[in-house]
Structure 1
Amino acid sequence: MVVRPFIFYRQNVIEKIRGHLLEKVTSWYQNWFGQAEVPSMELFQGDQHPGYVDTCQTYIDKGDNLAVENGVILAWENSQIILQKLAKEDTLHADVDSELSRYLMEKLAKDFSMMVANGNTVMEGQDCAEFKHTSGSGWLTGFIMVADMKFCFCIPPSIVSSLADSLQLPLLQKVSGDLEPVVSGCKQLVAEMSAELIPLELTLGELLEIQVGDVIRLDHPLEEPAVLVCGGEPLLKGTLGISGERKAIKLVS
């Protein structure tokens, strides 16, 4: 069974981040589309809205009208309308499959991600696969509505944390009293962890010749950290060593 993390963000913090992003989104929209309309925007914690997470996952699975830049996921419903707005000509019949169209949409998404991330980079691995694996836990998801265009977006936890830091906001919400017994009880559960090295490959002949006392040279480089695994899921990386009279692992990432 995969145990997924759950993170609670303060609702007032989400609202302040929404206000901050709305100002940036308005500037982003006006810069690209040259119109004075003010977009509307909704923002919420991903795993608190399973239906919306499912919608985002549908976009990801289809892979159409979707771009991922610096961990920020941006999806849109109608490329044709967006391209018409970009060209500022309602009569334009752009080919949504053309290289120029794809280039424009990629630039649009890249500019959006840079605006959201504010120059910060995401932690390695925070992308579409991570969003699906965690069912949106720790991510902020939302949508932008302006005129007849709709954009959906997902912001990874590391960018959420950076936004909160830049706004000097206390990000995490204290666990409510109703959940404290549950959380306290979970702390008593036992989890088995192991350190894994790069697997060693041997031929069947080599395997049959192994004897007690043989020294087997592993394929794991000395500078390569081992992977700490719990429940079959990789959690952290560390270097192996000795602590007292026991073997140990020092966490490095």
Structure 2
Amino acid sequence: MKTDWKTLPAHVAIIMDGNGRWAKSKNKPRLYGHKAGVETIRNVVTLASQWGIKVLTLYAFSTENWKRPKAEVNGLMKLFGDYLKKEVQSLHENQVRLCIIGRRDVLAPSLVHLIEEAETLTKDNKGMILNVAVNYGGRLEVLDAVRSLAEKVKEGQLQPEEIDERVLQKSLYTKDIPDPDLIIRTSGELRLSNFLIWQCAYSELWFTSVLWPDFTEEVFKEALDDYCSRKRRFGGV
């Protein structure tokens, strides 16, 4: 691997795309692809933790994904619940702190219970932070932050002129973590799809045509190598 480990991104975010197309290419149902995608998640989480990446954020289910067929949505929710049941102990043993970002109000109570159990178990871990975005939308996140700040202004806890980028940042789902240094998207699509739209202002973007179930260690390294070859100026020279 060519990567200079000193310049690895502290926070990597991944839009995991292409499970359905991967399954279709094998004449299998879409859920078959999502199950294969879970195996890729397991591998990527292990690699990121081993390489010293401090934060890994995975886009698992967007607010727009509810438009998919009910059977697929139900299958995805079951897969997520199964992942929590099977993986949380391993994450805990490896000092990974699990955080679920996104709206929980429309998730099944049983799934919310699993989320809360997993977050409670891992909350004091000192290793990598694993954010999984479920029922997440970047615009909704900003709206929720604005509404929260508006309530504070209404109650006299905050003055409008006190609201700056730092104050708004503290009201986001990701309030306690740094913005992503690198955003990866698989499957060949060249857009962010409502993912971390506030946080990505200065993120490096990396796109690959590889479908998520085929996202191997070598492809991950390729993304990191490319990131490490770039010069980040943040508007300077």
**Normalization by structure 2: what TM-score?**
0.24
Structure 1 length normalisation: TM-score? 0.23
Q: Which has the larger radius of gyration?
A: 1
- Structure possessing the higher relative contact order (Cα contacts under 8 Å, 6 or more residues apart): 2
